[in-house]
Amino acid sequence: MKRRSRVTISPREAGVRVTDFLVGRFSYLDRGAWMAEIAQARVLVNGRPISVDAVLQPRDLLEYLPKDVPEPRVNDAYEILFEDEALLVVDKPANLPCHPGGRYFHHTLWAMIRSRSLSDGPFFVHRIDRETSGIVVMARNSRDASVLGRQMASGQVRKRYATVVEGRFPEGPVTADGRLVPDPTSVVRKKLRFIPPGAVSEPLSEGRHCRTRFDLVRRGSLMSLVSVIPATGRRHQIRATLLALGYPVVGDKIYGTDETVFLRFIEDRLTESDRIRLRLDRQALHAAEIAFRHPRSGRHLHFEAPVPASFHTLVDAFD
C-alpha cells in the first residue's frame, strides 16, 4: 500500500500551470521542490507524468506519489471490540493516529485496519486525536458510513469521555454551552477558543456552537478525574472548553498550562521541565463509551473501553 494524494481539478482551478497550482494548494513544498517531484514522475495528471509547464484542465485528476519516508514510532496495540460485515469498533491506544496525515501513513489505525485485507475503506464514522485513547467506530463501506454519520449529525449517538484535569473540579454537573472560534492570540495556528454566552469580545455570528456536560468522578489534591458527555461533536471541543473553565487536561500540549510546549514538541525539543509540567507523555483524554444503532439492523449497540490505570494513578499521586 503506497501513499497517494489525489485531487480533481475544478473549472475554477483550471487554466493554471501545474507548478503554480501545487505551490498555492500544497505549500509544504516550495516551487523548486515541486519541480523536482515532477521531474521524478511523482506528480501525475490523468495517470501520466507531466512537464513543469503543463496547464491543468477542468476534471483533470492530479495525483502525487511521495516517496516513503521513515515514520515516527507509534503504539499499535489496538483491540477490536466488535466487527461484522458492516462495521468495526476499536479500542485505540494513545500515540496512534487515526488517519494518514503529515509524517504518518503506514503508522495509522486506518492503514493497520486496511492491511487486514479490506478492499475498501475503512471509513471513519468519527475520529479522536492521536494522543487520545479509546473507542473509534469505522464502517466497512461508504453506505454504512453515511447511515452512521446521519446518526451522529442528528444527535442519536451517545458518547462519554474520561479525562484528568489540573485542579480540584467542582462537585455537581457543570454544563458549558458556547461557541468555538479560532484563537487569534495563540502561537499555535490550529488552536480554538471557547466563548461562553454573553461574551462581548466576539461577534455572535462567529464560531460553531458546542455544548458539553462535565461530572466529577474523583478529586485529588491537585488533579481530578472527570466524566465528559459532549452534546455536540466539534474538533477540540472538550479540551478547549476545559481550558476556558480553568481546568486544562493533564498532558495537553496545546490546551494545557503552556501552549509553547507544543512548538517544542513538534521540533523534538521538549525539556525535562516540560515533561515534568505535562505529567504524562500523552493528553489524559479517553473515549470511554459509545452507544448507537447498527446501520443495517437498527439494533442498539453499546461499547465501553476501560479508563487507563494511569488516570487513577495521577489523581492519587499527590494525595
Counting Cα atoms < 13 Å in the Cβ hemisphere of 123 gives 16
- Degrees, nearest 5: CA angle 147-148-150: 70
- Please report the pLDDT score of residue 202 as a whole number: 53
Nearest to 302 by CA among 157, 161, 163: 157
Mean pLDDT of 182-196: 93
| Reported confidence tier of residue 207, pLDDT bands at 50, 70, 90 | confident
Whole-model pTM?
0.83
Q: Which three cell numbers stand for residue 28?
A: 509544504
- Please report the pLDDT score of residue 288 as a whole number: 98
Please state which of the four CATH numbers 3.30.2350.10, 3.30.1600.10, 1.10.150.530, 3.40.50.2000 is assigned to the domain occupying 162-286: 3.30.2350.10
5-64 belongs to which homologous superfamily?
A: RNA-binding S4 domain (3.10.290.10)
Domain ranges (residues) in the chain: 5-64, 162-286
Mean pLDDT of 68-96: 94
Grid cell 472527570 in the structure block, residue? 226
Is 129 considered catalytic here? yes
Mean pLDDT of 222-249: 97
Cβ burial of 308 (10 Å; 0-12, 13-18, 19+) is: buried
Q: What is the pLDDT of residues 87-143, one digit of tens each?
A: 999 999 999 999 887 788 889 999 999 887 655 679 999 999 999 999 999 999 999
Beta strands 158-166 and 174-182: pairing type?
unpaired
Mean pLDDT of 32-40: 92
- Please report the pLDDT score of residue 205 as a whole number: 55
Catalytic residue, chosen from 20, 60, 91, 129, is: 129
Least confident of 70-79, 223-232, 290-299, 310-319: 310-319
User: 203 pLDDT exceeds 60?
Assistant: no
Q: How far, in Å, CA of 314 to CA of 319, rounded?
A: 10
- Please report the pLDDT score of residue 200 as a whole number: 57
